[in-house]
Amino acid sequence: MEEKRKLRRRYMLAEVKIKSSESQGWIEAVMLNISRGGIGLYASEPLKKREKVSIKITYMEGQKPVEAEEIPGLVSWVQPVGGRFGAGIMFEAKVNRLNFPILSRCLEYARSNK
């Protein structure tokens, strides 16, 4: 099957917290992949398609956990998977070293782990 994505995904496990623009609490999730455009994840609670969210990614860089900045996003798709919810979240802002230095480092780290 031909890959139609514009941005290459990197597979990487990380902890993610998601906050909907409509709620106060954070939803627990696990990130499966990441690109400059967004992330794919499994969430513990359902999300709504086209919902604005904020996400925080915590990944392991060697033996050290690193938490990225709070990143604005938009839920692009949601699919039930067993007792969880698969989802894709597009970053709303351009990801670069100036805007999101820690997230940019996370992307570089994911690229280095081929």
Architecture of domain 10-112: Beta Barrel (2.40)
Q: Where are the domains of the chain?
A: 10-112
State pLDDT tens for residues 3-19.
Answer: 555 667 888 899 999 99
| Residues 88-102 as b or e (16 or more Cβ within 10 Å = b) | bbebeeebeeeebee
State pLDDT tens for residues 39-77.
Answer: 999 999 999 999 999 999 999 888 899 999 999 999 999
Six-digit token pair at 81? Answer: 């998977």
